[in-house]
Structure 1
Amino acid sequence: MKQVLLVFLGGGLGSVLRFIVSKPLNLVLQNFFLGTFLVNIVGCLLIGVILGISSRNNLLSANTTLFLATGFCGGFTTFSAFAFEKHSLLKNSELLHFSLYTIASIVVGIIAVAIGLWLSKLGE
């Protein structure tokens, strides 16, 4: 039950922060959800750092990792919003925006995870 509570609390914090960050930024560019994109990239970077640190010498407890990675990052990142936004672009025949945004999100997200893992190793 403690683990469920940790995920619940972390997810709630992540979701609130996602709302605060993404809502105003999504209004900046037309047909490109900048807030969602940035939240997903930062979330990928954070989960890379968290899991990288967690895997080294047990620097984070299992509960802390669960709270931060599963809870906070799970609530903070917005893949379901990402999928819905892609659907709306397809529905409106915005194939170029759909393609660019999807490819950029996936490629930059994977790069951000790799950078996060690399950052977690600094100072070893």
Structure 2
Amino acid sequence: MTTYLWIALGSALGGMARYACSSAIANWFGQGFPWGTLAVNVVGSFIIAFFATVTGPDGRILAPSDVRQFVLVGVCGGFTTFSSFSLQTLSLAQDGEMMGASLNIVGSVVLCLFAAWLGYVAAAAFNTVKGS
């Protein structure tokens, strides 16, 4: 039961962070394209891959299972917004904004995969640093 409470807390914190970040980005760049959603998905992809790698079996940081679940399932699950991405992409397509919908799909997939790879590479490099 404790694990569920950690996940719930992480989800709440991740959701609040998502709202704050995506709102700030939307206010900065405008509402015409879901830049905020794209940004949190890219950042979230980096964070989830980095944390999973650095706390994984070959990682440098030994994290208890509840901590991993708190971050990976709770915080990252609450922070990333794939369901929002899907709805916003559908809305762009329904509004006839096929270029925007296509850009959101390609940008989200390519940038999030790149961010996940970058998170993995950064954590793998961190794992091999000596003397820490």
Shorter chain as denominator, the TM-score bin is: over 0.9
- Aligned-residue offset at 1:59: 1.9
Aligned in 2, Cα 1:18/1:30: closer, same or farther, shift over 3 Å?
closer
Larger Rg: 2
Structure 2 match to 1:97: 100
Q: CA RMSD in A?
A: 1.3
Structure 2 match to 1:26: 26
**2:3 partner amino acid:** Q
* Runs of 4+, deviation exceeding 4 Å: none
1:70-95 CA distance string (max 9 Å, x none):
00000000111111101110110100
Structure 2 match to 1:17: 17
Secondary structure at the aligned position of 1:82 is classed as helix
Structure 2 residue ranges without an equivalent (≥5): none
| In the alignment, structure 1 residue 5 sits paired with structure 2 residue 2 | no
For 1:66 and 1:81, locate their aligned partners in 2 and report how far apart those are by CA, in whole Å: 22
Please, what TM-score do these two structures have when normalized by structure 2?
0.88
Secondary structure at the aligned position of 1:121 is classed as helix
- Aligned-residue offset at 1:30: 4.7
The count of residues paired between Structure 1 and Structure 2 equals 124
Please, what TM-score do these two structures have when normalized by structure 1?
0.94
For 1:14 and 1:77, locate their aligned partners in 2 and report how far apart those are by CA, in whole Å: 8
Counterparts of 1:1-124 in structure 2, within 5 Å, are 1-27=1-27, 28-55=29-56, 56-57=58-59, 59-123=62-126, 124=128
Structure 1 residue ranges without an equivalent (≥5): none
* Higher alpha-carbon deviation: 73-82 or 22-31: 22-31
